[in-house]
């Protein structure tokens, strides 16, 4: 009998026998894979699928008829007629000998090892009855001490079996090469970068190596806190950046003690340091708000309140303001870290109870330009292609104003993998970021000159006739106007504006235009400008001009910053849009929502969050409900923000922690974190993924949806009590692009990218294929305009702000993980060494950075990362937060602030 495990007409199959059973397998399969298909389990130690098949442990050996030697099944391909024995006497003896030799250099004190019960070596030792070695290994004598100075990771050489899984994982999965083989030959050891010098290594602390270790040699230190049989796992989505890594929270006694990477479509088993090590300490932080607080008007101190008191006060106060000043005197900010279900209810509350469209989310200050810009040109403001698609089989990546290695580390890893495999890389960034070292071309352009850059690219493409004429003709409109504009953007002129070499610009244009598959990946370096939306549209022009939209390996791909900032926008936490970008000012749409929600709705688009602050100062906004945001820290010109919040009659903050913004509140409602609730996040590639409850804490905190439902009812809207999955059903009902999405489908293992319009719809990995959401793509003609605040004699430097690997935005979450604070715990400013010399500043000096809005103190880091007359600061740290001095100059279309260009002066602190 011939069992067929694999057969398809166009792919060749070979006939082999495994342990006497004839089977057919795909040509090119390894024996290991073939055996797996036929239900044979072959032991492996050094093998990691897709990562490492070096065949060093020799545990997977099998006997092949006619061959004298045993062959390693992991890296030997099947051949026609092969007769394979996977468990012959010779094979078993060989495996026993391999284990015997491996154990000769392994300290087998399993009872004192944290991996006891979860160790592959231990498991095979028991299976093959080789629990002790008859040999004494020579490497025992040369092994050094444990390497464990790193806050999260440690290496115990006595347990290492030299399988190289960690080395290959670092190289091929993380794309890093930070962990390497040391010494050589029989003395081979692993150079684990976790010793005293760990800070000066290139290790990103992601810990993917430790998870690859089959023994207890490389460990995430937290792993030592539990035994494998004491814990349960809950599959969920990481709550940091927009990548949407799938992982499991490991729970022991109702406490999250660790994480485990899962094979999610966006992360493929990877995690970064924040995800692995900094995504749950905050859940159990003692600093969590545990009960409602009401500020005593007289003392100014917060006092503990009951939920009844707090909720009543909130409902009453807001309704009073509505009554006295009208609905548009109220506003709400939704949380882009909270699940879709929470955000949906929040905007519903603002629209139905407040009766206003003054609802926004913090996308306003990061990617509102993308949402607005791409909606205008393409019809949909989201990443067009999946992460996997733009980092696996591509010829060239055009990376503009993005530093994914720090801000989206798992995407950064995959870009490194793509470059390692041969994709060309063009980096357009004012700084020497990590990826610029791997870039074929690095255009180190002057901040704020993106439109000139893209116009220059398009000029050159047209000059050389590299545009996609057919695409332009059939799929777009407005080309002629644009072509007229870009005529003036000669490489020479653009070179002068952008401070780049014209030849490099020309080459970049050719390289991008002629590549078969080339995605544009961009981030806040494009959006956070007073011309951010035009920058975004200009990028969409560029991609359309060469027809690189609507197909695999291409597209325009904004990397969204927060875990659910895409979802928060999708859910309608936007002043002009109902869920699914359905326009507030569209009568039929409004009518639909009025019907669905059973109330009449305000027809006027509301204020953007950045416009709410001036409105509050002017007295037009009286009451504000901030759910999970901290604009005092995250928004530009802190003084201005504080003044605005202090001008309000009534401020409610729903939070996990006593943030700077919460301190200004009249009432604080303690909500719950992502680990304590059900729901969904929508990641940067429009993929809706489940968030699952992992722990229930002994607090008075309440589910945020329950808080919102209670408030809605108290404010007079009859919102039924619903759970997260029921809310998603309502979302699907009113949101065409989410029409087919439900918790049920996701729990059944489906992975869905919107648009997903009905229950049968498989989701849409690549947008705009064949037709733009808008119909025809629109070439939006943009001219280069200078930034709002240019350097002058008094403020001669351009200051940019940005993120670093170890922290996430306001640090409210990552700051609760001591290890992350150990990696990077204080504010700093990057200064070019020429400027530093002129200012008499050396590396490590305390400096004062002053803009027209104030002065902050920080520490100088002198290098060549930034160009002369430019400087850069992270915005995570309270000791010198640049947002005290950034400029709240807003973009015309999306009202996004110009974080990336502030004119400052720098002085050494006396």
Partner 1 sequence: MSKYKLEQPGNQNEKLQLLYNKFKQKIESYPVGVCPLTVQMSLLQTSKNQTCGKCVPCRDGLVQLEKLLQEIIDGNGTKNTLRELKVLAEYIRDNADCAIGYEPADSMLKGMELFKEEYLNHIIMHVCGEEIQQKVPCIAMCPSHVDIPGYLALIGEEDYAGAVNLIRKENPFPTACAMICEHPCEEHCRRSMIDSPLNIRGLKKFAVDQMAADLVPVPEVNVATGRKIAVVGGGPSGMTAAYFLALMGHKVIIYEENVKLGGMLRYGIPNYRFPKDRLDEDIRAILSTGNIDVKYNVTVGKEIAIQELYDNYDAVYIAIGAQAAKKLSLEGTNSSNVFSAVDMLRGVGYGNLPDYSGKRVVVIGGGNVAMDCARTAIRCKAEEVTIVYRRRQEDMTALATEVEGAIREGVELVTLQAPLRIEADDSGTCTALWIQPQIIGTYDRNGRPRPVNAKKSPNKIPCDIILIAIGQDIESEPFEQFGIPVDGNCFITTNQCEVKVKPGIFAGGDCVTGPATVIKAVGAGKTAAYAIDEYLGYHHKIISEVRIPDARPNHRMPTGRVNFTEREARVRKLDFLPVENEMSFEEAMQETSRCLRCDHYGCGVLEGGRD
**Interface with partner 1 by CB under 8 A: which residues?**
54-58, 61, 68-70, 72, 90, 93-94, 97-98, 101-102, 104-105, 135, 137-139, 162, 164, 181, 183-188
Q: State the minimum distance, in angstroms, from the CB of residue 158 to partner 1.
A: 15
* C-alpha count within 13 angstroms, C-beta hemisphere, residue 448: 24
Whichever of 123 and 585 has its CB closer to partner 1, that residue is 123
DSSP strand pairing (359-361 vs 330-334):
parallel
Angle CA 862–865–870, to nearest 5: 80
Q: State the minimum distance, in angstroms, from the CB of residue 49 to partner 1.
A: 19
Phi and psi for 13 in degrees, rounded to 5?
Answer: -115, 155
Whichever of 214 and 525 has its CB closer to partner 1, that residue is 214
Q: State the minimum distance, in angstroms, from the CB of residue 47 to partner 1.
A: 13
Whichever of 57 and 170 has its CB closer to partner 1, that residue is 57
Q: State the minimum distance, in angstroms, from the CB of residue 57 to partner 1.
A: 6
* Maximum Cα–Cα distance across the chain: 93
What string of H, E and C letters represents the secondary structure of 155-178? Answer: ECHHHCCCCCHHHHHHHHHCCCCC
Q: State the minimum distance, in angstroms, from the CB of residue 69 to partner 1.
A: 5
Whichever of 168 and 810 has its CB closer to partner 1, that residue is 168
Which pair of tokens denotes residue 760?
């049968």
Which residue spans within 718-823 are E strands per DSSP? 752-753, 777-778, 797-802
Q: Assess contact for 824 and 807: CB atoms under 8 A.
A: yes
Q: What distance in Å separates the CA atoms of residue 450 and residue 542, rounded to the nearest whole number?
A: 12
DSSP strand pairing (441-443 vs 424-428):
parallel
Whichever of 131 and 316 has its CB closer to partner 1, that residue is 131
Q: What distance in Å separates the CA atoms of residue 515 and residue 425, rounded to the nearest whole number?
A: 11
Whichever of 135 and 230 has its CB closer to partner 1, that residue is 135
Which pair of tokens denotes residue 734?
């009113």
Whichever of 54 and 776 has its CB closer to partner 1, that residue is 54
Q: State the minimum distance, in angstroms, from the CB of residue 123 to partner 1.
A: 17
Whichever of 70 and 272 has its CB closer to partner 1, that residue is 70
Whichever of 183 and 516 has its CB closer to partner 1, that residue is 183
Single out the residue of 82, 24, 31, 83 nearest to residue 61, CA to CA: 31
Whichever of 94 and 746 has its CB closer to partner 1, that residue is 94
Q: State the minimum distance, in angstroms, from the CB of residue 215 to partner 1.
A: 14
Q: State the minimum distance, in angstroms, from the CB of residue 56 to partner 1.
A: 4
DSSP bridge partners of 258: 250
Single out the residue of 346, 720, 750 nearest to residue 564, CA to CA: 346
- Residue 369, exposed/middle/buried by CB under 10 A (0-12, 13-18, 19+)? buried
Whichever of 217 and 731 has its CB closer to partner 1, that residue is 217
Single out the residue of 648, 677, 578 nearest to residue 350, CA to CA: 578
Tokens 């009905």, residue located: 758
Residues 6+ apart with CB under 8 A from 76: 30, 31, 64
Q: State the minimum distance, in angstroms, from the CB of residue 398 to partner 1.
A: 22
Residues 6+ apart with CB under 8 A from 339: 564, 567, 674, 677, 678, 679, 680, 681, 691, 724
Residues 6+ apart with CB under 8 A from 615: 607, 621
Q: What distance in Å separates the CA atoms of residue 736 and residue 733, rounded to the nearest whole number?
A: 7
Whichever of 135 and 202 has its CB closer to partner 1, that residue is 135
In the sheet that 679-682 helps form, which strands lie side by side, from edge to edge? 679-682, 687-691, 752-753
Which residue spans within 716-760 are E strands per DSSP? 752-753
Q: What distance in Å separates the CA atoms of residue 814 and residue 890, rounded to the nearest whole number?
A: 29
Q: State the minimum distance, in angstroms, from the CB of residue 568 to partner 1.
A: 43
Whichever of 217 and 294 has its CB closer to partner 1, that residue is 217
Whichever of 10 and 68 has its CB closer to partner 1, that residue is 68
Whichever of 90 and 771 has its CB closer to partner 1, that residue is 90
Which pair of tokens denotes residue 901?
């260009």
Whichever of 136 and 299 has its CB closer to partner 1, that residue is 136
Q: State the minimum distance, in angstroms, from the CB of residue 59 to partner 1.
A: 8
Q: State the minimum distance, in angstroms, from the CB of residue 884 to partner 1.
A: 39
Reported residue count of the chain is: 910
Q: What distance in Å separates the CA atoms of residue 676 and residue 88, rounded to the nearest whole number?
A: 51
Q: State the minimum distance, in angstroms, from the CB of residue 137 to partner 1.
A: 6
Q: What distance in Å separates the CA atoms of residue 69 and residue 67, rounded to the nearest whole number?
A: 6
Q: What distance in Å separates the CA atoms of residue 769 and residue 759, rounded to the nearest whole number?
A: 21
Q: State the minimum distance, in angstroms, from the CB of residue 624 to partner 1.
A: 53
Q: State the minimum distance, in angstroms, from the CB of residue 271 to partner 1.
A: 28
Whichever of 186 and 228 has its CB closer to partner 1, that residue is 186
Q: State the minimum distance, in angstroms, from the CB of residue 788 to partner 1.
A: 39
Single out the residue of 638, 606, 640 nearest to residue 625, CA to CA: 606
Angle CA 418–422–424, to nearest 5: 85
DSSP bridge partners of 11: 8
Q: State the minimum distance, in angstroms, from the CB of residue 184 to partner 1.
A: 6
Q: Assess contact for 269 and 261: CB atoms under 8 A.
A: yes
Q: Assess contact for 235 and 746: CB atoms under 8 A.
A: no
DSSP symbols for 663-725? GG-SEEEE---GGG--EEEE-TTSEEEEE------SSS---HHHHHHHHHHHTT--PPP--HH
Whichever of 249 and 419 has its CB closer to partner 1, that residue is 419
Q: State the minimum distance, in angstroms, from the CB of residue 162 to partner 1.
A: 7
Q: Assess contact for 454 and 494: CB atoms under 8 A.
A: no
């Amino acid at each position: 009998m011939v069992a067929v495990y694999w057969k398809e007409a166009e792919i060749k199959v070979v006939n082999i026998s495994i342990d006497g059973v004839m089977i057919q397998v795909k040509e090119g399969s390894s024996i290991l894979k073939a055996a797996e298909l036929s239900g044979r389990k072959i032991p492996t130690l050094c093998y990691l699928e897709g990562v490492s098949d070096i065949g060093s442990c020799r545990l997977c050996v099998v006997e092949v008829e006619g061959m004298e030697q045993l062959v390693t099944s992991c890296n030997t391909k099947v051949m026609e007629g092969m007769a394979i024995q996977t468990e012959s006497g010779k094979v078993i003896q060989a495996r026993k000998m391999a284990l015997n030799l491996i154990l000769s250099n392994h300290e087998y004190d399993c009872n004192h090892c944290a991996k006891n019960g979860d160790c592959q070596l231990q498991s095979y030792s028991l299976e093959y009855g080789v629990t002790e070695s008859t040999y004494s290994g020579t490497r025992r004598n040369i092994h050094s001490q444990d390497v464990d100075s790193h806050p999260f990771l440690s290496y115990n050489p006595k347990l290492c079996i030299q399988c190289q899984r960690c080395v290959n994982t670092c190289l091929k999965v993380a794309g890093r090469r930070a962990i390497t083989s040391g010494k050589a030959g029989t003395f081979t050891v692993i150079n684990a970068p976790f010793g005293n010098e760990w800070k000066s290594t290139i290790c990103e602390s992601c810990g993917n190596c430790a998870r690859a270790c089959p023994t207890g040699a490389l460990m995430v230190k937290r792993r030592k806190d539990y035994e494998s049989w004491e814990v349960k796992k809950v599959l969920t989505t990481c709550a940091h950046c927009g990548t949407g890594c799938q992982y499991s929270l490991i729970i022991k006694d109702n406490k999250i003690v660790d994480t485990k990477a899962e094979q999610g479509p966006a992360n493929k088993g990877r995690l970064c340091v924040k995800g692995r090590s900094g995504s749950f300490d905050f859940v159990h932080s003692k600093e969590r708000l545990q009960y409602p607080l009401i500020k005593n008007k007289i003392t100014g101190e917060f006092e503990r309140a009951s939920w009844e008191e707090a909720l009543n006060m909130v409902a009453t106060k807001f309704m009073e303001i509505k009554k006295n000043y009208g609905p548009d005197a109220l506003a709400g900010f939704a949380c882009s870290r909270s699940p879709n279900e929470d955000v949906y209810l929040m905007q519903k509350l603002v629209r139905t109870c407040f009766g206003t469209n003054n609802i926004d989310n913090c996308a306003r200050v990061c990617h509102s330009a993308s949402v607005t810009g791409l909606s205008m040109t393409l019809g949909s403001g989201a990443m067009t292609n999946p992460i996997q698609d733009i980092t696996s089989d591509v010829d060239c990546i055009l990376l503009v104003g993005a530093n994914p290695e720090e801000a989206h580390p798992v995407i950064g890893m995959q870009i490194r993998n793509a470059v390692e495999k041969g994709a060309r890389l063009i980096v357009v960034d004012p700084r020497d970021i990590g990826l610029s070292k791997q870039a074929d071309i690095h255009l180190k352009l002057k901040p704020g000159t993106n439109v000139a850059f893209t116009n220059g690219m398009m000029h050159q493409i047209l000059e050389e006739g590299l545009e996609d004429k057919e695409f332009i003709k059939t799929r777009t409109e407005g080309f002629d106007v644009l072509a007229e504009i870009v005529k003036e953007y000669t490489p020479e002129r653009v070179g002068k504006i952008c401070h780049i070499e014209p030849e490099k610009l020309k080459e970049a244009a050719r390289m991008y235009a002629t590549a078969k598959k080339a995605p544009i990946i961009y981030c806040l370096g494009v959006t956070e400008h007073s011309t951010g939306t035009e920058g975004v549209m200009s990028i969409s022009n560029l991609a359309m001009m060469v027809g690189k939209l609507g197909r695999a390996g291409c597209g325009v791909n904004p990397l969204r910053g927060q875990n659910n900032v895409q979802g928060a926008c999708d859910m309608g936490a936007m002043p002009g849009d109902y869920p699914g970008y359905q326009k507030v000012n569209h009568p039929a749409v409004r009518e639909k929502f009025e019907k669905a929600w059973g109330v009449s709705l305000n027809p006027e688009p509301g204020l953007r969050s950045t416009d709410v602050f001036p409105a509050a100062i002017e007295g037009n906004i009286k009451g504000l409900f901030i759910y999970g945001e901290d604009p005092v820290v995250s928004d530009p010109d802190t003084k201005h923000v504080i003044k605005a919040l202090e001008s309000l009659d009534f401020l409610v903050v729903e939070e996990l922690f006593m943030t700077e913004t919460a301190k200004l509140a009249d009432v604080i409602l303690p909500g719950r974190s992502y680990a304590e609730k059900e729901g969904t996040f929508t990641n940067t590639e429009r993929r809706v993924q489940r968030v699952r409850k992992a722990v229930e804490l002994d607090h008075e905190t309440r589910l945020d949806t329950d808080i919102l439902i209670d408030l809605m009812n108290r404010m007079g809207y009859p919102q039924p009590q619903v759970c997260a999955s029921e809310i998603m059903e309502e979302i699907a009902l009113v949101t065409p692009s989410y029409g087919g999405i439900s918790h049920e489908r996701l729990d059944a293992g489906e992975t869905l990218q919107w648009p997903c319009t009905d229950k049968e719809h498989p989701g849409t990995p690549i947008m705009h294929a064949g037709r733009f959401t808008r119909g025809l793509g629109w070439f939006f003609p943009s001219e280069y305009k200078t930034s709002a605040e240019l350097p002058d004699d008094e403020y001669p430097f351009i200051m940019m702000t940005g993120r670093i690997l170890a922290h996430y935005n306001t640090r409210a979450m990552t700051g609760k993980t001591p290890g992350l604070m150990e990696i990077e715990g204080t504010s700093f400013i990057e200064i070019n060494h020429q400027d530093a010399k002129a200012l008499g500043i050396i590396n490590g000096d305390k400096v004062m950075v002053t803009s027209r809005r104030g002065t902050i103190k920080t520490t100088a880091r002198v290098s060549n990362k930034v160009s002369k007359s430019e400087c850069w600061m992270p915005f995570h740290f309270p000791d010198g937060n640049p947002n005290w001095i950034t400029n709240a100059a807003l973009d015309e279309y999306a009202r996004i602030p110009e974080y990336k260009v502030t004119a400052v002066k720098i002085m050494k602190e006396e």
